[in-house]
Amino acid sequence: MNAHTPPPSSARVSDEELHALIDEQLPLHAREALVLRLQQQPDAAARLESWRAQRRLLRDLHADVLDEPVPAAMHDALLRAHRQGATHDRWWRWGGLAASVLMAFALGWGLRGMGSPADGSLQREQAEAAFVRQAGVAHAVFTPEQRHPVEVGAGEQAHLAQWLSKRLGKPLKPPVLSAQGYELLGGRLLPGADGARAQFMYQHADGHRLTLYVGALDTGKNSGETAFRFTDEGPVPGFYWVDQGFGYALSGALPRDALAALATAVYRQL
242-264 pLDDT, tens digit per residue, is 988 899 999 999 999 999 999 99
pLDDT at position 228 is 82
The sign of the dihedral angle between the CA atoms of 40, 46, 51, 57 is positive
CA-wise closest residue to 64 among 117, 115, 104? 104
pLDDT at position 70 is 60
pLDDT, mean of each 10-residue run, the chain (270 residues): 55 85 83 86 84 73 59 60 49 44 46 48 79 91 90 94 94 94 95 88 94 85 69 87 91 92 91
39-63 pLDDT, tens digit per residue, is 888 888 888 887 787 777 766 665 5
Q: Look up the pTM and report it.
A: 0.59
202-222 pLDDT, tens digit per residue, is 999 999 999 999 999 876 654
pLDDT at position 171 is 92
Q: Are 254 and 237 within 8 A, CB to CB?
A: yes
pLDDT at position 9 is 60
d(CA 182, CA 207) in angstroms, rounded, equals 10
